[in-house]
Each structure stands twice: as structure tokens, then as C-alpha cells.
Amino acid sequence: MVLVRKTAVADWAALRDIRLEGLRDFPAAFGSSYPQEAARDEAHWRGRSSGGGLFFAYLGEVREPAGLAGGYLADPATVELVAMYVRPWAWGQRVGEALVTTVIGWAAERRAASVQLWVTETNTHARALYERCGFALTGERQPLPSDPSLTEVAMARPLETGLPH
């Protein structure tokens, strides 16, 4: 069973650890870089853990987070899905789906019209996850900010509860 909950200030060290692990072990999956994020101080991580829509996923009785995902309002109608990471020991256990579904719900509560994300073009597992969760390619492409030799593609999922157009 996967349990997802919003992060809180007390989670700052766990947030830092899981975020840095993802950046260190899978650098091509993120727009940020390990050195950039590792240089941030405790105040940064405390602020990040208590603001907005950042979520941890847990498996069963395991006390450390199995995954992380966040959402933020890019504008009143659009939520960006960011910082998505599932630890390798939790792969194949629906952690990713639970996190994405939670961010979609968070976006719907804010009456967003859509959830959008960027994913590295070659990250076929992540793209398949997002497609299973109702996302589709938008046709937009850009260099990955942390490694411009890689390309990321945009995906979006419309929400039924969005703002009137």
C-alpha cells in the first residue's frame, strides 16, 4: 500500500536527502543539478518542505520516503509537476502513480485547468508513467537546463475542474 502525504517543516532533512539522491543518481532526469542543490542551506530546505504542494510517498511500514513529487502554480490555470523521483527499491510498486495522482488532485483543488511537466526525451519509463496517468505530449521541446546536450519534452493533462476559459 502506498501512502502519500504533504511534506512539513520537520521533513526538511528527509526532503534534502531524497532530492539529492535523485539528482546524484539520475542527473539526466532533472533540470537542477546535484552541485546546485547540495550547496543550499538548511533554511532553504525548511522553506521548501513547508511551502506549496510537495509530497512524500511511503510504502507500508517503511519510515523513509519511497518517492517525492511536487506541484506549483505556474499561473492560475496551470500546475507544473516537478521534482518527481521514486527510489529504485520502490520501483514497480505504484509509487509514481500515487504521487502523480496526488499532484493532479492538488491541482484540481486549486481549480487549475491543466497539469504540465517536462521529462527528458529518453526517459521512457517516466514518459510511460505519465501517459498512464493521462498526460500527452504537447509538441514542445527544450534543452534540459542541467545538461543542454539532452532534450526534454513537455507533457500536459487537462483537468475537468479547471478555471473557465
Terminal Cα distance for the chain, rounded: 38
Q: Could you report the per-residue pLDDT of 64-106, keeping only the tens digit for each?
A: 999 999 999 999 999 999 999 999 999 999 999 999 999 999 9
Instruction: Transcribe the chain into DSSP letters.
Output: -EEEEE--GGGHHHHHHHHHHHHHH-GGG-SS-HHHHHT--HHHHHHHHHSSEEEEEEETT--S-SEEEEEEEEETTEEEEEEEEE-GGGTTTTHHHHHHHHHHHHHHHTT-SEEEEEEETT-HHHHHHHHHTT-EEEEEEEEETTEEEEEEEEEEEE-TTPPP-
- What does the domain layout of the chain look like in residue ranges? 2-158
The CATH superfamily of 2-158 is Gcn5-related N-acetyltransferase (GNAT) (3.40.630.30)
pTM, 2 dp: 0.94
